[in-house]
């Protein structure tokens, strides 16, 4: 039973399902943060990319990708890049999808550590910006920030793949919330299955890595979940250990 929608995907019990068959293509090159050139049925076509990360390990020329057809007739591009196929399996390249996946997981009480929480608000104020969720467990409140992860090296999921001032700011705001007595957590959604552990990517952003360690010491919950990804959709398959050092 479909219960909600987010972008071009359908939110269902157990995960996210794509609304229709995905279209096969071959990656040509990235044009900018939100566009790429893909060969589809023998012709090159500009497609939308819902991810501002670098994704160098995914976006290599000739790699097989799967595209989601646009549902809005007036849109400039006919397709959105949904999945990338690696030898180890599919990876979701949609950085918007994890929030919908987490929202459904919370609704179904299916996320370990948050099964007794309910969503009070989406995108609540956090410092000068916004968190992804404000949760409640009885009278206790908890801010939850969600991060999309696609980079994996030798079984280790890594975030970020490039320096992220925004990501560091989010972590600092969670620390401040925890010091004010609020609960605070950050959930890294690993949009692929070929992973055994999560760690902050110190090589890409040592300041983010240090901020995350300080957050953990301050009582911010740091957790990560892997996903099963295939052309039908994306679903959680469980927690993975987090290594902060």
d(CA 108, CA 86) in angstroms, rounded, equals 30
pLDDT of residue 10: 54
Domain boundaries along the sequence of the chain: 2-92, 97-240
DSSP characters for 214-238? HHHHTT-EEEEEEEEEETTEEEEEE
User: Which contiguous run of DSSP H or E holds residue 97?
Assistant: helix 97-107
Class of domain 97-240: alpha beta
The answer to whether 88 and 57 are in contact (CB under 8 A) is no
**What length does the chain have?**
245
d(CA 7, CA 176) in angstroms, rounded, equals 32
In the predicted model, residues of the chain with pLDDT beneath 50 are 1-7, 11-13
Question: First vs last Cα of the chain: how many Å apart?
Answer: 42
The answer to whether 177 and 141 are in contact (CB under 8 A) is no
Distances 204 to 74, 100, 207 between C-alpha atoms, Å: 38, 27, 9
pLDDT of residue 71: 82
pLDDT of residue 75: 83
The answer to whether 47 and 81 are in contact (CB under 8 A) is yes
What sign has the CA pseudo-torsion 186, 189, 194, 200?
negative
CA-based radius of gyration for the chain: 18
pLDDT of residue 14: 59
User: Which contiguous run of DSSP H or E holds residue 29?
Assistant: strand 23-32
CATH topology of domain 2-92: OB fold (Dihydrolipoamide Acetyltransferase, E2P) (2.40.50)
């Amino acid at each position: 039973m479909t219960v909600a929608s987010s972008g071009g995907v359908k939110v269902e019990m157990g995960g996210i399902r794509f609304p229709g068959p995905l279209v096969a293509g071959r990656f040509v090159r990235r044009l900018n943060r939100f566009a790429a050139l893909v060969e589809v049925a023998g012709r090159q076509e500009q497609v939308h990319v819902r991810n501002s990360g670098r994704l160098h390990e995914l976006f290599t020329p000739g790699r097989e990708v799967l595209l989601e057809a646009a549902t809005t007739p007036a849109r400039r591009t006919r397709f959105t890049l949904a999945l990338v196929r690696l030898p180890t399996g599919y990876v979701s390249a949609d950085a918007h999808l994890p929030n919908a996946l987490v929202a459904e997981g919370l609704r179904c009480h299916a996320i370990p550590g948050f099964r007794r929480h309910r969503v009070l608000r989406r995108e609540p104020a956090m410092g000068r910006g916004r968190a992804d969720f404000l949760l409640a467990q009885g009278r206790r409140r908890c801010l939850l920030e969600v991060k999309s992860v696609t980079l994996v090296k030798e079984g280790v999921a890594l975030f970020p793949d490039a320096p992220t001032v925004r990501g560091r700011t989010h972590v600092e705001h969670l620390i401040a919330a925890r010091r004010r007595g609020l609960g605070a957590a950050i959930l890294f959604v690993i949009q692929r299955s070929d992973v055994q552990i999560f760690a902050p990517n110190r090589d890409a952003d040592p300041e983010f890595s240090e901020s995350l360690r300080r957050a953990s010491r301050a009582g911010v919950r740091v957790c990560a979940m892997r996903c099963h990804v295939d052309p039908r959709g994306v679903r959680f398959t469980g927690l993975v250990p987090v290594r902060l050092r």
